[in-house]
A = this chain, B = another copy of it.
Amino acid sequence: MATIKDIANAAGVSLATVSRVINDGPKVGKETRERVKNIMREMGYRPNANARALVTKRSASLGVVIAELLDPFFATLAHGIETTTRQHNVQILMSAGSIARETELKAIETLLEHRCEAMVVHSKALDDDTLIEFAQQVPGFVLINRHIKKISNRCVWLDNEAGGRLMAEHVLHQGHKKLAVISSKYRIDDPVERLTGIRQAIQAAGISLPDENIEFASPDQEGGETAIQNLLTRGVEFSAVLAYNDAMASGAMTMLLDHNIPIPAQVSVVGYDDVILAKYCRPKLTTLHYPIELMASKAAELALLYASGIRPQEGITYKYTPTIVKRESVARI
């Protein structure tokens, strides 16, 4: 592959001149510029990003760490990042962290080796201190879907508690008194925050939520199915179920319908996230809209901004609030 040197030789000019026309440098003769450009085109010249990154110490690329590309939630997240990086002509280095300490760490470290100064990372397995350290080390380090007070201005996150309240309030307003909750069995923050919000709303309504009305399972369709199965088996009575996410809600609906329990006629279901399947399943799922694409765009923008030298504003943070999307899975009783 042709180098800057080859071009210089072919054009009968020096390396410096070629470099200048590549970067639209200031002082180059009109005709020299044209001549060099033509030669570059003829020889199919492409600047070597590695060499460039080496000397400029900037990489024009943004590192991304997410849990799992397969998951529609993360696909949406990735998409949000991709659209904004593309506008900035920035490449994405993508890694999956799998919500495992070792993997997440490895992913970030590899990104570090590539010297990308901008990163948006979704980490649930690493502890605060580790993340704070990375944030100190990398100017454009931004966390998504997590809030660490010490580095608030590097966090783009969702108010999960508010979300929990909202979903509970919605069914309460529809007259439901007996609620069931199917939550995630994984001990990360999100499920406990959402559950906390749910409890607040229920308590405020003067109702109780017995422990036996709460099921913990894997946060996917299968988990939703088994959770409902357990609830049904134990004879728990409920007219509404609040799910940890849309996948669980979908599984729940499947299992309820399999038991000839009509939705929402007999039981209402509320999801969380508003991923694509919420619109696809039947009945269409009433759920909480998680503006993850928007948040991801914001995170990417911040990462790029901070990486470019702008210091993050002190004391600020980027908190988003979910909103309820009413579709067909909730009925008034």
Contacts and interface: CB of A to CB of B under 8 A. Distances in A.
Contacts of A72: 72, 75, 276
Contacts of A70: 75-76, 79, 276
Interface stretch (A7-15, A112-120, A171-179): A112-120
Contact of A46 (B53, B71, B93, B112): B112
A92 B95 contact: yes
Contacts of A79: 68-70, 96
Contacts of A94: 64, 78, 82, 92-94
Given A91-B95, A96-B82, A48 B115 contact: yes
Copies in the complex: 2
A110 interface: yes
Interface in A100-148: 109-115
Contact of A93 (B91, B110, B253, B280): B91
Interface residues of A, number: 47
B69 A113 contact: no
Contacts of A64: 94
Contact of A282 (B82, B113, B254): B254
B280 A221 contact: yes
Contacts of A95: 82, 86, 91-92
Contacts of A282: 253-254, 257, 281-282
A314 to B, nearest CB: 25
Nearest to A71: B75
A236 to B, nearest CB: 24
B69 A75 contact: yes
A112 to B, nearest CB: 5
Contacts of A86: 95-96
A326 interface: no
Interface in A11-63: 46-51, 53-54, 59, 61
Contact of A69 (B82, B114, B276): B82
Of listed A59, A110, A111, residue having the most chain B CB within 10 A:
A110
Contacts of A53: 50
B54 A113 contact: no
A316 interface: no
Given A50-B115, A72-B75, A72-B276, 13 more contacts: A48-B113, A49-B114, A50-B53, A50-B59, A54-B54, A69-B78, A78-B94, A82-B95, A82-B96, A92-B95, A253-B282, A276-B277, A280-B281
9 contacts: A48-B54, A49-B110, A49-B114, A69-B69, A75-B75, A91-B95, A92-B95, A221-B280, A281-B282
Pairs of residues from A and B, 7 with the lowest C-beta to C-beta distance, nearest first? A75-B75, A94-B94, A69-B79, A50-B53, A70-B79, A50-B50, A49-B113
